[in-house]
Amino acid sequence: MFISRIVKIVLACALLAGCGESVTRAYPSRILVVGDSMLATHRLSDLAVADAMEKTLREPVVDRSTIGARFHYALPISGQAGLNITKQYVPGDWDWIVVNGGGNDLWMGCGCMVCDAKIDRLISEDGTKGTIPGFLSKLRSSGAKVIYVGYLRSPGRASPIEHCRDEGAELEQRISKLSELDRGLYYLSLSDLVPDGDASFHAIDMIHPSVKGSTAIGQLVANIIEGP
């Protein structure tokens, strides 16, 4: 029942958050962010991952990530296209596109239990087939470099998504394989970001990042964009 309440809260927040920033031809940005709540959390207070990127890079970033977003839905979504991560992308003169996602497909799509078919649909074992590789290929064909951001790991304390650990690790291992095939695709693992027993990188729900967590993630992404 606890997890059910959290799911309802997440969906309600998604409706409030909409699909992130709109994009106009006059918007002076070369960086686009798409994904789910790991990126979107704290956006209303200008403390999300994209905000940390802006502060580090000292340039604007378009953030269209949305709380509750997924790659797949059992039923069509009406009125909230931003809940589908692939629909968050808009063509533009992007140099960099930052992406995350897949966690909600596993948590809300199959309960992180019987998820083999769900993971295969997202990305094949060799990393070359599925919705995620297809989407990233589309982004890369635009000429942009792509950074795929992994998820925060549990700090070793109770979390509603603790049972998703193995499924999440498998998903990210496959994305890592894909990144090895394309020099313009960067996989940013967050597996070593959170020290064991340190809850300060997580919000009180132990799912989403705290402001500290969002800031740290944004700085890591910015470091890749800035280069060595």
Give the rounded distance of the alpha carbon of 115 from its chain centre: 19
- Per-residue confidence band for 24, with pLDDT thresholds at 50, 70 and 90: low
> Residue 44 pLDDT > 60, yes or no?
yes
What's the pLDDT score for residue 78? Answer: 57
Domains of the chain, by residue range, sit at: 2-226
Question: Quick one: CATH architecture of 2-226?
Answer: 3-Layer(aba) Sandwich (3.40)
Q: Is residue 70 classed as helix, strand or coil in its secondary structure?
A: strand
User: Partners of 187 in the beta sheet?
Assistant: 148
Q: Is the pLDDT confidence value at 215 over 50?
A: yes
Spatial separation of the C-alpha atoms in residues 222 and 228, rounded to whole Å: 11
pLDDT tens-digit map of 158-207: 788 888 989 999 999 999 999 999 999 999 999 999 998 899 999 999 99
* Both tokens assigned to 61: 């970033």
Whether 154 has a pLDDT exceeding 50, the answer reads yes
- 8-state DSSP, 161: T
